[in-house]
Structure 1
Amino acid sequence: MAGLDLRALFGSNDRQLSADEAFTNRQGQWQTVAAALTEHLRHIAAPGFNVEDVEAPRRNVLVFYGVGGIGKSTLSRKLEAALAKTEQRPAQWGEPTWPDRPSILPVRIDLSRSVGTDFERVILTIRLALAELGRPLPAFDVALRRYWEHQHPGEPLEEYLRRGGLAARFGKALPQQMQSALSDVAQALLLPGTVGSVVGQVTGSLVRALRDRRQTVRALAGCTRLADLLEAEPDLDSLSYYPHLVAWELAQLPADEKIVPVILLDTFEDTGDRTHRDFERLLQRVVWLMPNAFFIVTGRSRLQWADEGIQGQLDWTGPAAWPGLAAHDNPVPRPSSGAALGRQILIGDFSREDCENYLTRRLTRDGQPLISEDLRSRIAGTLSDLTPEERHVLRAIALFDAFDLDLATRAAGLTHQAPALRLVERPFVLENPFGLWRYHLHARIRSMLRTVQDPTDDRWSPDDWAAAAERAFTALGRQWAAGSGRPLLVGCLRQGLPLARDFPLDLSWLTDAAFAYVSDSIWEPLVQPTHTGQAAGVHTAADALAELLNALARRQHEHRSRTVQRLSAVIDTGQLPDELHEMAVYYRAKAHRDLGRSEDSRHGMQYVADRGGRLAPRARRGLAHLARLAGDFPTALATADTLSWDGRHHRVRGDIWWPHGDMHQAAAAYETARTEAEEHGIAGERATSQAQRAFALAFMSPDQAADEIELAEQLLTGLVLRVTSATVRIAALIRDAGTTQDIEDRAELLRTEIGLAGVTVAEPILELALCFHYAVLGADHSVSASITRLNDLTRSGDYAYYVDIAHFMADLSLPADAPSRAQWLDGERPTRQRWRALVTTRRDRLHTAL
């Protein structure tokens, strides 16, 4: 807007002038969009453009950023309408002149926290918009169908779309197109008709056909990364790479059906902050992997993707990757500037005086201000036309991200809901009928109430704000205590933690909520810290609790050594009360164990166990695990006998029995542990116990193990448990031992993922699974190599008895200098016999099958 006069814009005969046009140069912004989109269309039409090139720089994103409330969302909606329908584009904007114009498909996605858009919804929105093509996108649709059935077992996609409002917005064509894609692929593979709806069998057959380069799938064989994506674990991380398949499908469309999506990502600031970029990382992948789509981002801050300093936080960073996003902002680029066009546009930089000047002097009709003094007064102060009680409620709801009538009334300290009922009818209170709480305040109004000096006579003092925050905090606690369900717990934490941190308040119900949060092992992201990291801004217990829960949530997405650093920083602040201090120590001890630092882990577990708090049973279980790691099975079993449900006593026993080769007893213990977890409603423990049961049965009964592995995968849906997920995949390797030719490739891929996650505890057991495979095959040389790797992996002394087990499998004598001094419960000989019997039984079974 700086450097451009609004005279031309407001010199039009168009009498549909709206107030928000006074603050923003829509014509200049449209010219910027038209110029950037023209350049994009030329780029993707050039002979050298390749949609599968994942290394070329990206110029397919345009950013409009500025302060809240300046009209960025309005701009996003206007651009969507102008790109969708020519008649909705103001005449003064002009006709775009892009070359060989294909069909432009605008897709607007609101990322605001109040709407509740998650990454799944982003992907579904893009695909639903493309449903207007009237044809399936087979590569993407098969992958998405596999993902959906894995992550949402028993939940039809149609019902999800209807409940979330997407079906009403886009129609109901997607499920039919996905089923059509699946059936077409099944037909191409000559699969029976009854298999056409079984996504697992179709994708498995498709991968093999792609690997074998069969002619029947030549239409999909051109997508070079399709087989890899279909083989990858169908989790959220894999989903973020599926847009590559959408881009490839769009590139295959006939010339007369070509379509270019223009994806408008609004309220981008709600995807995270400069420290927590998990959602932003997923969205960046969408932009990078869809180079033939054009993205228009609107938010409060410029994108930092071209900054060198964030390398490692996102997948692609630096000016070489994003040449248009480098820090050379051009607030009003000229449409003719071509490739040099700046792609980060600052809007809304009028000062308060500038606004008044335009409103009173420049925007006139017949010598009088176009916007009256009364209307100008309303723009400057939203509170002026509200009753005292409504103003009281308005200030109170400014404390919430989202609210309902009960929260609004209680936070205001009123005994009746009438003022809140009147207030939610105002245009600055927005409504989301699908949200956890139905209402939220317009971001600009909320920011003004929290930060700008209140000019009214009944303005609140700091003490008034603190009292309202206490009431709001208490009201959230009441709702959590009276309700149930994980969404309510997480929602109350996300709103309660900032209140306790900002005002500052006693933790009160947050302590119990924190323990409830960690009990399920789901690890949704919570509040964003207000500082830059390493607990530097931790001054209160609420600060420390927010840091603690964020560290626990992020540990499933980063190396365990980073988790240790985060937790140590929180512990060192000394701000956590005793119970939560023990929580931090316990989870740091778990991370130490995953890293193979047994002595550090033992010290932390003993500390928590000795204090007898809520986590003491888990800490005693941790000590039993550490004894087992050292091969001290009598101590481990004796400790297990002292544990109860809280200490996961049955799972601990299963962990003791399987190293002895007693898979019957181990599987039974794990089944009992799973049943107990179901009775207590602990999703994470249920999945972990089932994964261990599948692992034990994979050695003994491959057929039964197949069903158990499938159940474990279903129980992991919605959970982020890296070690447990690795256990399930190792169980699949053991199930297939001696049969398939790709076990080593699968093991190598899993080994890489384990290393990246820092869960070194899974490396020895993966090697043991390979050793079982080699022993079944009778591959003595491979067994010896595997034993050598096991020796290296267990050099610290933990799991050294795996070397013994490897010798037992292959019927080899233990060397005199064997590292293990395992104390087997019934002696070495029975243990050796059980392991050798597992190998010979598998070998006999395979020979019989031949």
Structure 2
Amino acid sequence: MDLDSYFSIGATSIDSAQNTFTNRTVELDAFAQALDAIAVSYPRAVEAVEDLTSPRRNVLTFYGVGGIGKTRLSRELETRYLAAPADGDAERLSHRVDFEAGSATDVEGLLLGLRAALGSYRPCWPAFDLGFAVYWERAHPGEAMRTVLNDSSSFRRIRRDVDLGSQLQKAIEELLSSAGGVLGIFTAGARLAGRSVRDRIRERRVLQECPFFERVVDEPDPAKMRIYLSVLLAWDLAQLQQKASRAGRSLALTVFFDTWERVQDGEPRLGSVEDLLSRLVWLMPTTLFVVSGRNRLRWADDESRARMQWAGPDRWPYLDEGAGRVEPRQHLVGGLSPEDSDRFLRLRLMRDAEPVLSPEVRQQIIRAAHGLPLYLDLAAVRYAQLLVSGRTPSPEEFGQPFPEIVLRLMADMSTPQRALLRMASLVGRFDLDLLLAGAPDLPDSEMSRFLRRSIVRHEPEEYLPYSLHETLRHAVRGADLAEDQWSDREWRRAAQQLTDEMHRRVDRHTGGDVSMLSTYFLQAFRLAPTLGGVEPWLWQLAARLQSLGALPTLALAGASLERGAPAQVAADVFAAVARRRERGPEPTARLLRRSLNDPELDEVGRQFATHWLAWMLDETGDWDDAEQLRLGLIARNGLFAPFVKHALGRSDWICGRLDRARGWEFALSDPRQRFWQTGIQGRVEWVLGRFAEAEDLYAQRLAAAEEFGSPQMVADVLRGRAQLLCFTDPAQTGPGLEAAEIYRRLRVPVSEAETRAALAVSTHVPGETASTLAELATCRASGAGVWADAGEVLVRCLEGDVEGAHEVRSRMATEQQGAAYGFWLAITGWWLDEASGQLEETDAPGVTWLHGADDARSRWQEVLRRRIPSR
């Protein structure tokens, strides 16, 4: 008897096969045939990987309704697959991803999981290891790879039998003949990334035989590079598969994707998790992927062609509905047949090698189960519990709808055990302390007994390692008819205690572990309907997750809500913020206004939505309306007051209200607020022509950014310095180059364009106007706008093209949105005064020159005069 059954029904003469697997002959045969089909590619594995156009046939899919036994089937297939080789001529490797966990959808984590699986067979995979090293430099500047992989709980969970960080470091050092101290990826604190490993690769001219290697490692965008790293791993694997095949041996890698429905959310689209994973599968044609979920894969659908990188029946002919019976293909996993259901129940409980359940009881259960293995399993547990209590169960006690099974389970539980079941049903995942937070008076012994019950799943590698089956979890509250059933008030109290515990954990965590924070955000948000609303701290956590780039988490908030739930409007706000870049500012603003008109949105939610509505108005040029919204928020002095003050200071500076911009005060003990204040004040001094003062403030701002540990904050400081230095010290291009590189890696195109506009002014060579103007035009088209225009006026003035400078400045005046960047009209006019020797119209209404306009005029004209002698 296994431990789960022992602690569920006690020490009896009943023998329980808790992990009974009913032979699904069709599915087992399909898997065997799929393995044979993929093995056909091994003799020419390298050619298969290098062929990027032929259709793929490396995906086997099992889909069906929840509770039908897909996960049990998937795990059984993996067990049999790994146990099959009986000689030394076959090597089988596997990797499993359960998308129920959430963090598994991260492509970087999936790549590392695959690498760890292969690392258990061989410590070095040259193309991938070097490619990943270059990627790490660009995607994680300043982070030591070995330390992060070895110390991060997220990566430690990938595979415990492989010290992945150490293995990668050793492989990279040996491939490049470089000690760890030489390579930046092994040293924390390096800011400029993407150089040392790439340079070393070029010096040693390694892996020139891999056709993809140079193209992948030369890709400057780490997000795009990450997608194609899998082809390097596939190429490494293909080398060994082909070599082994020619020696009469085999090397197989099979990947099991379970709970795929968590990925298949909504329509497919380019860049979605589903699209990225389909690309990974496409690039690894000699690896078999076994996918299990509730729905068919749609990669072969004609409708997916325009929404995914590689889709359509010509790409995935074996996933098409008309594929015939060739394997691997897609299989609908139906309910167990009556015969298989009977076999399941007979094997589930045995005594002296004979079935415990009578034929009459088995038939009653089978009729009600409709082939659902979960129902069969719970009914068998219920039967055993009645039997060991001294009763002989009758057929009439079985065959009720599924919620009745829950009721029967609860009836045989003690009061503390029922309380724990109810609390466990409130959350998707939990640990011992979280559950005890909802029942602080329960003894540990009750918790231990509950965790040992067969209805509780245990996955020790997860943050929250315990869970109930989703179908069971959803049925508990509706089936709670016990004598001590909870009232609505008791359900709310338990939900509040669980939420408070998650709040305490989030507050204690000062780092940026996105996976952990996302888990608690989604767990706490699913309690909102029970609580009747969203907790204020969840809105703050949403802002924190947004700043960390965890937009998919915000977009998923509403996935667990029933239609019409009280928290639906909050989920709509989170989704609008998460998808604002895809939808654009105007559609996002409309969505946020609609949510603000919903009476269900609470006060803190209104502040959050209003804050983001103001940002969308900024992007459409409605500065005055945005200011009024923010002033209203400031008057309320709510949870987002520092964020709002920063936005107000920024808009004051943009609109020329320099006195008010400089007057906003922040809590300087907080690095983020110190970063905001010094940034605004530095910009003000810069516009006033007080360049030395601006430099001092930028230095303070940089210190705050580095204390906070955010690459984008560092880039923002460096961009400000680049915009200052292009006028005062154009030879200093280092800050601008570094900022542009970070923005490129982080995919912030407008900020990158503004930085490159400053670099174009800095690097302008007298007499070579055409190339400078072409670069500025490119920056303007990428969103740099007024920054590129101002730079062009300066360049034309330096070259004596006063007429051309006049035309650009006139365009600036025509395109100006309200008072935005009005100071540039004055500054460019002052340059024209200096260049033409005539007094120009330089009025800039609304700009408050704190030391007088004449003082600012002389300082900005001096900028032009210092550059003219270099012609």
- TM-score, normalised to structure 1's length? 0.74
- Equivalent in the alignment of 1:126: 114
- Tell me, in whole angstroms, the C-alpha distance in 2 between the residues paired with 1:442 and 1:152: 41
| 1:393 positional shift | 0.6
CA 1:817 to 1:590, structure 2 compared with 1: closer, same or farther past 3 Å? farther
- Give the counterpart of 1:425 among 436, 442, 452: 452
The answer on 1:350 being equivalent to 2:350 is: no
| 1:832 positional shift | 3.8
The answer on 1:151 being equivalent to 2:140 is: yes
- Tell me, in whole angstroms, the C-alpha distance in 1 between the residues paired with 2:290 and 2:744: 33
| 1:638 positional shift | 3.0
**Quick check: which has more Rg, 1 or 2?**
2
SS in structure 1 at match of 2:160: helix
- Tell me, in whole angstroms, the C-alpha distance in 1 between the residues paired with 2:44 and 2:835: 64
- Tell me, in whole angstroms, the C-alpha distance in 2 between the residues paired with 1:640 and 1:227: 48
- Give the counterpart of 2:293 among 281, 299, 303: 299
- Equivalent in the alignment of 1:405: 432
- Give the counterpart of 1:377 among 358, 361, 380: 380
Q: Return the letter of the residue paired with 1:573.
A: D
Counterparts of 1:502-581 in structure 2 under 5 Å?
A: 503-510=530-537, 513-514=540-541, 517=544, 520=547, 522-523=549-550, 525-526=552-553, 540=566, 542-555=567-580, 559-561=584-586, 563-581=588-606
- Given that 1:64 and 1:344 are in contact with CA atoms closer than 8 Å, whether structure 2 keeps it comes out as yes
| 1:474 positional shift | 4.3
- Equivalent in the alignment of 2:26: 28
The answer on 1:637 being equivalent to 2:659 is: yes
Q: Return the letter of the residue paired with 2:70.
A: K
- Tell me, in whole angstroms, the C-alpha distance in 2 between the residues paired with 1:80 and 1:745: 61
- Equivalent in the alignment of 2:387: none
SS in structure 2 at match of 1:242: helix
| 1:265 positional shift | 1.7
- Tell me, in whole angstroms, the C-alpha distance in 1 between the residues paired with 2:43 and 2:812: 57
CA 1:301 to 1:745, structure 2 compared with 1: closer, same or farther past 3 Å? farther
- Tell me, in whole angstroms, the C-alpha distance in 2 between the residues paired with 1:128 and 1:519: 30
Counterparts of 1:209-608 in structure 2 under 5 Å?
A: 217=205, 219-220=207-208, 223-224=211-212, 226-227=214-215, 229-234=217-222, 236=223, 238-251=225-238, 255-257=242-244, 261-271=253-263, 273-274=265-266, 278-307=272-301, 314-326=308-320, 337-338=325-326, 341=327, 343-350=329-336, 357-359=342-344, 370=355, 372=357, 377-378=380-381, 386-412=413-439, 414-433=441-460, 435-443=462-470, 445-449=472-476, 453=479, 465-466=491-492, 468-477=494-503, 479-480=505-506, 490-501=518-529, 503-510=530-537, 513-514=540-541, 517=544, 520=547, 522-523=549-550, 525-526=552-553, 540=566, 542-555=567-580, 559-561=584-586, 563-598=588-623, 601-602=626-627, 604-608=629-633
CA 1:243 to 1:228, structure 2 compared with 1: closer, same or farther past 3 Å? closer
- Given that 2:34 and 2:60 are in contact with CA atoms closer than 8 Å, whether structure 1 keeps it comes out as yes
- Given that 1:738 and 1:773 are in contact with CA atoms closer than 8 Å, whether structure 2 keeps it comes out as no
- Equivalent in the alignment of 2:12: none
The answer on 1:169 being equivalent to 2:155 is: no
- Equivalent in the alignment of 2:864: 836
Q: Deviations over 1:791-838 (max 9, x none)?
A: 599464644765876798898559999998475834474354354367
- Equivalent in the alignment of 1:66: 64
SS in structure 2 at match of 1:106: strand
The range that moved more, 649-658 or 704-713, is 704-713
- Tell me, in whole angstroms, the C-alpha distance in 2 between the residues paired with 1:79 and 1:749: 58
| 1:207 positional shift | 6.5
- Equivalent in the alignment of 1:76: 74
- Equivalent in the alignment of 1:92: none
- Tell me, in whole angstroms, the C-alpha distance in 2 between the residues paired with 1:290 and 1:792: 55
Q: Return the letter of the residue paired with 1:59.
A: R
Q: Return the letter of the residue paired with 1:343.
A: R
CA RMSD of aligned residues (A): 5.5
- Given that 2:642 and 2:666 are in contact with CA atoms closer than 8 Å, whether structure 1 keeps it comes out as yes
- Given that 2:42 and 2:241 are in contact with CA atoms closer than 8 Å, whether structure 1 keeps it comes out as no
- Given that 1:131 and 1:174 are in contact with CA atoms closer than 8 Å, whether structure 2 keeps it comes out as no
- Equivalent in the alignment of 2:149: 160
- Given that 1:281 and 1:314 are in contact with CA atoms closer than 8 Å, whether structure 2 keeps it comes out as yes
CA 1:775 to 1:57, structure 2 compared with 1: closer, same or farther past 3 Å? farther
| 1:285 positional shift | 3.1
| 1:641 positional shift | 1.7
- Tell me, in whole angstroms, the C-alpha distance in 2 between the residues paired with 1:47 and 1:618: 55
Q: Return the letter of the residue paired with 2:495.
A: A
The answer on 1:656 being equivalent to 2:688 is: no
Q: List runs of 5+ in structure 1 lacking aligned partners.
A: 1-15, 90-100, 845-850
Q: Deviations over 1:65-119 (max 9, x none)?
A: 2344443333333333433442589xxxxxxxxxxx9965322233332776743
- Given that 1:65 and 1:345 are in contact with CA atoms closer than 8 Å, whether structure 2 keeps it comes out as yes
Q: List runs of 5+ in structure 2 lacking aligned partners.
A: 1-14, 246-250, 362-376, 383-404, 668-672
CA 1:285 to 1:459, structure 2 compared with 1: closer, same or farther past 3 Å? farther
Q: Deviations over 1:539-595 (max 9, x none)?
A: 53x222232233334446664455334423422434322342132122122123234
- Tell me, in whole angstroms, the C-alpha distance in 2 between the residues paired with 1:23 and 1:744: 72
| 1:499 positional shift | 0.9
- Equivalent in the alignment of 1:110: 98
CA 1:418 to 1:131, structure 2 compared with 1: closer, same or farther past 3 Å? closer
- Given that 1:774 and 1:780 are in contact with CA atoms closer than 8 Å, whether structure 2 keeps it comes out as yes
| 1:130 positional shift | 2.7
- Given that 2:21 and 2:76 are in contact with CA atoms closer than 8 Å, whether structure 1 keeps it comes out as no
- Given that 1:268 and 1:297 are in contact with CA atoms closer than 8 Å, whether structure 2 keeps it comes out as yes
CA 1:660 to 1:466, structure 2 compared with 1: closer, same or farther past 3 Å? closer
- Tell me, in whole angstroms, the C-alpha distance in 1 between the residues paired with 2:349 and 2:419: 36
SS in structure 1 at match of 2:426: coil
- Given that 1:400 and 1:495 are in contact with CA atoms closer than 8 Å, whether structure 2 keeps it comes out as yes
- Give the counterpart of 2:128 among 121, 140, 147: 140
- Tell me, in whole angstroms, the C-alpha distance in 2 between the residues paired with 1:656 and 1:48: 60
- Tell me, in whole angstroms, the C-alpha distance in 1 between the residues paired with 2:837 and 2:619: 28
| 1:315 positional shift | 4.1
Q: Deviations over 1:26-47 (max 9, x none)?
A: x422321233344445468679
- Tell me, in whole angstroms, the C-alpha distance in 1 between the residues paired with 2:146 and 2:555: 31
SS in structure 1 at match of 2:659: helix
- Given that 1:804 and 1:814 are in contact with CA atoms closer than 8 Å, whether structure 2 keeps it comes out as no
Q: Return the letter of the residue paired with 1:638.
A: R
CA 1:168 to 1:67, structure 2 compared with 1: closer, same or farther past 3 Å? same
State how many pairs are aligned: 783
- Tell me, in whole angstroms, the C-alpha distance in 1 between the residues paired with 2:328 and 2:262: 24
- Tell me, in whole angstroms, the C-alpha distance in 2 between the residues paired with 1:175 and 1:789: 60
CA 1:23 to 1:181, structure 2 compared with 1: closer, same or farther past 3 Å? same
- Tell me, in whole angstroms, the C-alpha distance in 2 between the residues paired with 1:809 and 1:56: 61
- Tell me, in whole angstroms, the C-alpha distance in 2 between the residues paired with 1:462 and 1:354: 43
- Given that 1:671 and 1:693 are in contact with CA atoms closer than 8 Å, whether structure 2 keeps it comes out as no
Counterparts of 1:770-849 in structure 2 under 5 Å?
A: 794=815, 796=817, 798-799=820-821, 813=836, 821=844, 823=847, 825=849, 826-827=853-854, 829-836=857-864, 839=867
- Given that 1:116 and 1:435 are in contact with CA atoms closer than 8 Å, whether structure 2 keeps it comes out as no
- Given that 1:139 and 1:249 are in contact with CA atoms closer than 8 Å, whether structure 2 keeps it comes out as yes
Q: Return the letter of the residue paired with 1:589.
A: A
SS in structure 1 at match of 2:60: strand
| 1:455 positional shift | 7.9
CA 1:491 to 1:294, structure 2 compared with 1: closer, same or farther past 3 Å? closer
The range that moved more, 727-736 or 318-327, is 727-736
- Give the counterpart of 2:699 among 671, 680, 689: 671
